[in-house]
A and B are shown apart, each in its own frame.
Chain A
Amino acid sequence: MRELFNAARTGFAEIWAHKMRSALSFLAIAAGSMVFIDAFSAIVNTYSQLEQQKAVSGLARLKVTNNRSLSLSNTDGYQMPPVIDYEEVAALRRQFPDLYMVSPEAQDWREVLQYDGRNVVTSVTGVTPDWTKRDFIYKLRGRFINKYDMDHKLRVCVIVRKAPPPPSNDYFKQRRKEWNFTASFDELAAHNDLLDKTVKIGRVTFTVIGVLDALPYSERPENLLGYSNDYQVLAPVTTMYSYNMLGPYDSLEVNVDTGNEATFDETVRKIRNFFKVRFGSEDAFVIENQMGLIRERMAESVRSSLATVSLGMLAFLAGGIGIMNVTLATVFARTKEIGVRRAIGASRRDIMLQFMVEAVMLGLIGGVIGSVLGWLWDVPIKVILGMGAAKISAWIPLVSVLIAAFTAFVFAIYPAWVAAGLKPADALRAE
C-alpha cells in the first residue's frame, strides 16, 4: 500500500513535470470516456422511457383496425369492407372482461363548433370511458365521459386545451402553422372557460362536462410508440353514431391494453380469433402488435447506442496505445533514473510498479476529464442546443473511469515490463 502511494507520488511529479506530453496522452482516453458516457446515458434513457411507458400505460398493447385496403368490390358493384362498430367492441369487452383497457375511437375530422356567436372548425373524437387509460397526459377539470353518458347517448363533450408546443426548429413551426386547421378552436378553448357551457357542434348542441388541460411537453413521459393523436373535442362514441356524426362506414380503431405482458401473445391470439369469427376472415381487420413495436424501437435505439459505445471503445483503444507510447518514451527517457534506482536497491517489481502506477494515473485523469466533458455535453450543452438533458446515473462515469484506468493498466504492462527488464549496469550507462 505504501509502495503504491510512493509510486503514485513519483508518478504525479512526473506527470506534472511533463504536462503537455501527459495531456496529449490522456486526450484520447478522455474522448473515449466522453463517448462512452454519452452512449450509455442514451441506453439508460431508452430503458427509463420504457419504465415511464410502463408507469403511464402498460406495454402489453395492441391496436385493432379494420383493413382499409381490403377490396370486396367486383363487377357487380361496390361493396363496403366490413367495419368495426361499437357493437363489435362491446362484444369484445363481454368476451374478455379481464382486458385492462378496451378503448375504441373514431374521429369526425371536420365540424363547425359554435360558441358565443363564433364559429370555429374543430374535430370531434368519439371515445369511451376507457380512453383515460391511454397515455393520459391531461389535467381534468369537471368530469370525464362515463358509462351513463355512453348508455344514454347523452350529448356531452370534453374539451381539450393544448399545451404550448415544444421548442422545435423553424421548419416544423412553419408546417404546424400551415396545417393546423383547428387553430381558431385552440384559441377559443384557451381563452374561454367552456366548462358547463353549451356549444353547438354541427347541428347538435352539447354540454361541456369537462376540460382537459394538456400537460406541458416537459412533464410528459416520452411516447415510445412515437405518435399520438391530436384531440380537440371528445364525445361518447355512442352519441356520435346516434347523431350521425359518425356514419356506418366509420370504423373504430380499438386500442387494447391486455394488462399482462406475460400472457400477451396468448391474448393477441385470442383476440385475433375473436375477430376472425366475427368477420369470417382474417383479411377484414389488422392487429398492430404495439408491444412488438415498442420492443423494436427499444432494440433499435440500444443498437445505435451500442454502435456509439464501440466508437468509444475504439477511442479507448487509441488512448491505450497513446499511453503505451508515452510510457515507452518515458522509460527510454528515464533509463538512467531506472539504473540509479536499481543501484540503490529498487527491485524489478518496484520499477514495474512505478511505471504501471504512472500510466494508470494518466488513464484515471483522462477518464475523469472525459467524464466531466461527457457530463458537460450531456447536460448543459444539450440543453443549450435544445436537445434536452440526458440522464446520467452515477455508475456511468464511474464505469467509464474504471475502463479508462483498466485500459491504461493493460497497455502499460509492456512498457513497464521493458523498464523492469533493463539491466542495472546498462541502464546506469545510458545517457
Chain B
Amino acid sequence: MVSRPDDAVSAAQGGGPLTADPKLPPTAVDAAVSEAEDRKWTPAKIALWSAIALLGGVAWFMLAIVRGETVNAIWFVFASVCTYLIAYRFYSKVIERLITKPDDRRATPAEYKADGKDYVRTDRNVLFGHHFAAIAGAGPLVGPVIAAQMGYLPGTMWIILGVVFAGAVQDYLVMFFSMRRGGRSLGQMAREELGVIGGTAALVATLLIMVIIVAILALVVVNALGESPWGVFSVGTTIPIALFMGVYLRYLRPGKVMEVSLIGFVLLMAAIIGGGAVAGTEWGAAMFHLDKVTIAWGLIIYGFIAAILPVWLLLAPRDYLSTFMKIGVIGMLAVAIIVVRPEINVPAFSEFASRDNGPVFSGALFPFLFVTIACGALSGFHALIASGTTPKLIEKERQTRFIGYGGMLMESFVAIMALVAALSIDRGIYFAMNAPAALTGGTVETAAVWVNSLGLSGVNLTPDMLAQTAKDVGEQSIISRSGGAPTLAVGLAHIMQQFIGGPAMMAFWYHFAIMFEALFILTAVDAGTRVARFMLQDSIGNVIPKFKEHSWRIGAWLTTAVMVAAWGAVLMMGVTDPLGGINTLLPLFGISNQLLAAIALSVCMAIAAKRGSFKYLWIIVVPLAFAAVVTITASFQKIFATTPAVGYFANNAAFSKALADGKTSFGSAKTQAAMEAVVRNTMIQGILSIVFVVLSLIVIVAAILATIKAFRDHSAGMPMVDNEDRPRASRVFAPAGLIPTPSERELMAKWDELPADQRLGKAGHH
C-alpha cells in the first residue's frame, strides 16, 4: 500500500483540503488500484519487457564486448532506446514512489492559479514536446562530438547511464518540487531551503554560469561561421527573416503562428540555397568572408541590440522558427539514422582514452569526459527551465514523471544521435577538423601530415580527402573548424545525403545543420542575456532601488551592457586564444553547467530531506556526489595541475616564465603578444574556476547542513515546515503517461459522461 504524504491532512473524511467535490468523478486513480495494476504481470507484458531487455542487452553486447572492425549505428539506437524504456518504466517509478510521491487529488498550479496566460493546463503529450523543445538546444549536439576523441564507448555509456541516474532525475525532481511551489524558480527555492548564504551563493553562481554558457555557445557559432561566406550569409539572413515574422505577427496577422513559421521556414531554406549562390560569386565571397574576430564583434553588438529590442520583434519569432526547426530536424535525423544505418569505424576506446593530451580537448577521461558531455547526460541549465515555465503548465501531478524524466531521456537520445553523426565521418577528418590550428597548421597538407603522425589505427589521411570534403560541403576549408558544430554538420550531411538528395545535396545539408545550430544558439544568447540582465538588475536593486524598475530604460541598457561585456570578453578571449579557444574553454562550460546541476541536486536533497525521505535519499545523493566529485576534481586539476595542457595556472606560469626569459615565441604562441594573451587568458580562466568551485561548495555545504538539520528535527519528532503551496483539491482528471492505463481509461470515461458545463473546474474566480 502506498502512503500518501497528504493522507494525514485529509484523513478525517469530509474534512481536509483535499476533499473532492462529491458531484465530480474521482480526480485520481485510487492508489491501491494503480499499485495493483503496476504489480500485475500479464504474459503479454512479461513478453514485451523481456523483448526490450533482450534487445537492449544484445545492443550493449555489440557495442561493448564484440567491438568488431566496424559497428553499425543501429546498435547505438537500440542500446539507448531500450535502456531509456527500462529506466523510465522501472527506475523513474521508484523515484516516484519513494521521493516525489505525487498526489493527483491535489490541484496543480495550472489549475489553482489558472489565468489563461502563464498558468494553463496543457495536454501532457503537448507539454512533453514543449518542454523538450525548451531544454534541447545546441548543447547536446556539441559535447558528444568533442567527446568522440576518446572513442565511442565512454561517451555512449556516460550519455545513457548519466541521463538515467543523474540528468533525468535532476530534471524530474526540480520540476516536481517547483510545481509544488507554484512554479517557483531554482534561485527562489535555494533561498528558501538553504538560507541567505546558500541562496545568495546559488544566485551568484547561476549568474556567472549563465555568462560562461552564453559566451561558449557564441564561440561555437563564431567558429562555425569564421571564413565561411555561405554560413555568414545564411545565418545573417535569419535576422531580417525573424524581424519580418515579428512584424507579421504583431501587425499583419496576429496569432497566426503556424502560418508565419511556415513562411519563415521557406525563407530559411531560400536563405540556405541563396547562400550557396552568393558565396559562389566573387563579390559575395569577398563581402561575407569574415574572420573570427569580426564575427565575434558582430555577435557582441547583435547580442546587445537583440537583448534590448522588444521580445515581439526578434526573440519571439525566432523562438517559433527555432522550435519548428528543432522538432523537424531531430525527427528527420532519427529517421535518417534508422534508414541509413551508417557503419562506424571508430574504436570503442581511442588512443587518447588513456592519455591526457588529446588534441580536441585536454585532460584525462576522468573527469574531463564527464564535463565535456554535459547536456544530454546531466545539464544543470535544465533546472532553470524545469523550474519556471513548465511547472505552470502541468495538468496533473503524476504527469511530472513523463514530462520531466521522459523529456530528459529524449534529449539524451539527441545527444546519442549527435555522437553517431560525428562518429560516422572518417577519423582522420575528425581530428583535422577539431584540433586547433596551432597543431594542424591550417592547410590540407600540414593537417594531413599532422593527423598521420598521431599514429591512429586505420587512419591514412590524404590532403585530397580534406580538400574534397571541404568542396563537398561548400566550404573553402574544413581544417581546424573546432567547436563541434562543423563536425556535426559534416556528419549530418554525410548521413542525410544518403537519405535524401545524394552527394550533390551535401553542401545544402551541411549549411542546413550549421543554420539550425546557429539559430538555437542565437536564441539562447539573446534570452540568456535578458535573464542575466534581470538577475543583475534585481541584485543591484538591493543597493540602488531604482534598478529594480524593469521599465527604467537607462538601468536596463546599463545592465544589458554589463552582461554583454562579460560574455563578450570571455568570447573574445576564446576567439583570440593562441591555444585554440574551444580546447581551453569547453571544460569551463561543462564544469559550470554541472556545478549548476550539483546546486540543483543539493536543493532537491534538502527538500527531500525535509519531507522525511531519508532512507531513499541515495537516489539524489548518488548523482549529486558524482557531479560534485567530477566537477570539483576537474576544477582542481584545472587549478592545480602541473601539466600546462591541463592546468590554467601551470600554463600561466610556463608562459610568464618564457616571457620573463625574453622568448618571443613559446609553444603554440608565435608572438610575444600571443604569449601575453595566454598569460592573461589562463589567469582569468583560473580565477573563474576558483570562483565557481567555491560558490558551489558553499551551496553544497549549505544543503548538507539543511539535510542534517532536517534529520535531527525529524528524529526529535519536530514537525517539518515545508515551503509548498497549501494543498487544494483538484477538479480535473487526466492520465499520467503517454498511454492511459485501464483504470485511467475507466476514469476518463466517467469524466466524459459529465455534462460539459460541469467538467471544467469552475472555481469562484472573477
Do A and B pair up? The answer is no
B interface with A by C-beta (< 8 Å): none
